[in-house]
Chains A and B, each alone.
Chain A
């Protein structure tokens, strides 16, 4: 029962997903919209609750057992608790029961998002510029034909899309466009075919119950 019910359900749900694509008739679309807009969105919200519960459990456990760098877990819990309280009771547009401003200083959830989450996310991604440069240098040291091709293509694309590219040669932007439209499309399309066939095969295996890793361990 512990496996049969989930495997039956995934088969039925999979069939409903396929049917939604092949029967675009309004009489069926009403049911399909209910599945997508109500059922699945609510399920995704509960999945987030599960994920957050798991995150909090990991950090409480880290503090309890005083694992390496446990002090930072307090920071995460305080930041999470503070922003969740501000967001839940202060409202999305500062329209909740909790006041979200002291004088001209605002601390509603949108302000927290714009001044903490966005700058920190962009800083994290900006860091990657340095690591990618380092990776490119390492790749270049390999001195294989493949690594050289990759870096030459990358260099031409980078220079060619800048205004500087036109000042080097007026043909360079056109050449970059040709690289993007012809050899790049050929290579990417070959990879896309492989990925697509893999996606279809894996999806079929999941729906038909051949692939069962998602059931997890245990009975």
Chain B
């Protein structure tokens, strides 16, 4: 056994154990680690925004280089803080409107392009799609399965008519595809979490206690 003498490894390990103690039940050690985590993470956030955005993009160009156009974002940004002054707190809506409006506007054509047009292109039965599988004649079968699967999945989420008759059958088929999709996503997520757990155990048993290499 070769226990670490690095104080940061001790701090990380003790805080990690405090978080993992939640497996037993919620306890003061978990709460303490949780609050320290939030505090330091937000402290880092302040540092990041100050040194990477506010100083190089706003304050230095505005006050040292005299780029007066930056008075506009500065003034609009300040309006966020009116949230703390009840009499004029409605002014906070102005920066929110500009920020949310712009990104909402960007989202509309981007979503139509990437998540509707491109997905339709990948679903329809064309010879290009058959060949994209690189599986010979099987490419046609896989494309047909994807095509039917997408239509059936959409019919499962179509609630304007009762799921009876043809829609009843297609929605039952649709749920099979949806559940296989969820299962695959679930499997991948579990694998990711378990690999994090393995990394954590390696850190505690290797880097900290020196039991394993």
Annotate B1-37 by CB proximity to A: 1 below 8 A, 0 otherwise: 0000001110110011001101100000001111111
A188 touching B181 in the complex, CB below 8 Å, given contacts A53-B81, A75-B32, A196-B115:
yes
**B182: interface (CB < 8 Å):** yes
Dominant secondary structure at the A interface = helix
Number of interface residues of B (CB under 8 A): 117
With a cutoff of 8 Å between Cβ atoms, the chain B residues found around residue A196 in the complex are 111-112, 115-116, 119
Please tell me if the beta carbons of A83 and B40 are within 8 angstroms of each other in the complex: yes
A210 at the interface (CB under 8 A from B): no
Chain B positions 43-92 with a Cβ under 8 Å from a chain A Cβ: 43-54, 57-58, 69-70, 72-74, 76-78, 80-81, 83-84, 89-90, 92
Contact code string B87-111 (vs A, CB < 8 Å = 1, else 0): 0011011111111111111111111
A22 CA / B148 CA spacing, docked (Å): 33
Contact A52 B11 (CB under 8 A): no
Contacts of A190 in B (CB 8 A): 149-154, 156-157, 174, 177-178
In the bound assembly, the distance between CA atoms of A76 and B92 in angstroms comes to: 27
Residues of chain A contacted by B80 (CB below 8 angstroms): 43, 46-47, 49-50
Question: Which residue on B lies nearest to A178, using beta carbons?
Answer: B142
Residues of the A chain whose Cβ atoms lie less than 8 Å from the Cβ of B187: 153-158
The contact of B184 among A57, A136, A157, A203, by CB within 8 Å, is A157
Contact of B181 among A52, A73, A161, A183 (CB under 8 A): A183
Q: What residue of chain B has the Cβ atom nearest to residue A118's Cβ? A: B12
List 12 A-B pairs, Cβ < 8 Å: A43-B73, A43-B99, A50-B92, A79-B43, A86-B47, A91-B51, A92-B51, A126-B20, A152-B183, A153-B184, A184-B184, A206-B101
